[in-house]
Amino acid sequence: MLIAAALPSIAAAQPDAAQATRSSVAAEIRAQVGGKYKNFYGRRGYWPIWVDQDRIGPQADPLLALIADSEADGLDPDDYDSQALKQRIAAAGNGDPKALARAELALSRAFTDIVADMRRPARDVRMRYLDKEVEPQEAEPSEILRIAALAPSLSDYVRDAGWMSPLYMRLRNARARYDAQWAQLPDLPVPEGVRMRPGGRSEAIAMLRERLGMAGGDAYDKALVARVKAFQGDHGLKPDGVAGAMTIAALNKGPGHYRRTLALNLERARLLPGPWTRHVVVDAASAQLWYYSKGALDGSMKVVAGTKETQTPFMAGMIRYATLNPYWNIPPDLVANKVAPKILEGGSLKAMRYEALADWSANPAPLAQSAVDWDAVAAGRQEVRVRQLPGGSNAMGKVKFMFPNDLGIYLHDTPQRNLLAKDDRHFSNGCVRLEDAQRLGRWFFGEMPKAKSDAPEQHVPLPQPVPVYLTYLTAVPTKDGVTFLPDVYGRDGD
């Protein structure tokens, strides 16, 4: 009974001892900290983030692992001196507050350095930034630490590199798997224009087997079919197991081509924020959209992106408002090629729910159809502004989400649902057509706003502007690794 009665007192004493150790560590941090780190620690009473009770906590382990693997980020592990970090941690193993404070500050310095280096954009990948809020900023160490300390779990935040886009981290990890499976294979040319089919035998098939790292022989057997299917699936080709012209061309690009493509796409993904920033990402290459907040992916959807001739640009801005009952300002080339010929054949603007306007101002005067030289418009000698009225089959659907820019690019609803069912969804004039504009609107507003009347162009400000990033990823992570997409816009340069 006496032992049992004493247990609560012993249990209570253990937290008190741990609290005393942390208080002593805080006092030592106060004595040792300086420069850019003093602001962070001073605001939290010099309380540590890497110390648990009387030792360095497990949150240091993912940081050491991240440093060891930092070559995957194009960085040099030696820049972060992990050996010295490990020595600091070992020296603090006896619970000495002074040694714990030294290890705490060394870990914070290494952490802020690697976060800043991972976030730093490459010079040869340039995104157009429409607003100051989305321009890359060199974060101060105190801000990097403040954000990390707010995470529910510092260990998870470091392990997942929560300051980086999940698309970046998934592609980073997929690259390692890709390298292990495909990048180390023999860089041998496979004959083109030679028929190779399952069940066949030939010298060309023997070369195909060697190129794919398989055992010798000249038979197109089941094992080779499976290997060809795997290569096709990882390189954006139809996985039919037949080494046709497109598959041979992909093989003959060689490992170097795919390594460069992966590196380029990692740099594009590096420009995207982490999931703790509320934001939207549109990938024009895969015609997909994702939206994130509070450290997680909140949802995704298909989109229709621009054609090769009318590309969705590589840029970022702030979505500031929604427009209900929108007009569609028809691009001048479509006015010349589509609208004007119909008028010349006897059609009317009114019947097509179009109207001609005097200029591109916010409040233009309407033009009578008869006041326009439609022959000149059709021939390209004259331009006239034409817009489609709201409702019905308006190309904007019921809503568009606006991030003001001089290119006339925005996210919008669409009545053309059939295009969203296609694998290749590059049909727009540069704008982004949404699979589910209502769902995205609910995410922006909490509840999708409703038009107060039939009046056109009703603008509703977002409760808080949301960053949107229009990117272009021709290498994308998958459940099993990575796949390469067609370079529709010809931006990869190889």
- Give catalytic residue positions: 412, 431
Tell me which H or E stretch contains 267. helix 254-270
Burial of 441 per CB tally in 10 Å (0-12, 13-18, 19+): buried
Structure tokens at 35: 């420069």
Rounded Cα distance between 129 and 275, Å, is: 19
Q: Across-strand partners of 356? A: 367, 386
**Alpha carbon distances (Å) from 334 to 331, 430, 459:** 5, 13, 26
φ, ψ at 282 (rounded to 5°): -115, 125
Structure tokens at 386: 């034409």
Task: With beta carbons less than 8 A apart as the criterion, state whether 123 and 140 touch.
Answer: no
Task: With beta carbons less than 8 A apart as the criterion, state whether 461 and 307 touch.
Answer: no
| Structure-derived torsion over alpha carbons of residues 63, 267, 305, 462, reported in degrees to the nearest 10 | 50
Q: Across-strand partners of 386? A: 356
Rounded Cα distance between 434 and 300, Å, is: 10
E strand map for 294-394? 296-306, 315-324, 328-329, 354-357, 366-367, 385-388
Q: What is the DSSP string of 425-483?
A: -EEESSSEEES-HHHHHHHHHSS----SSS-S-EEEEEEEEEEEEEE--SEEE-SSSEE
Structure tokens at 153: 């779990």
Rounded Cα distance between 388 and 391, Å, is: 9
Structure tokens at 487: 């370079």
Task: With beta carbons less than 8 A apart as the criterion, state whether 151 and 115 touch.
Answer: no
Task: With beta carbons less than 8 A apart as the criterion, state whether 122 and 454 touch.
Answer: no
Residue 327 DSSP one-character state: -
Residue 288 DSSP one-character state: E
Q: Which of 143, 160, 167, 174 is nearest to 72 (CA)?
A: 174
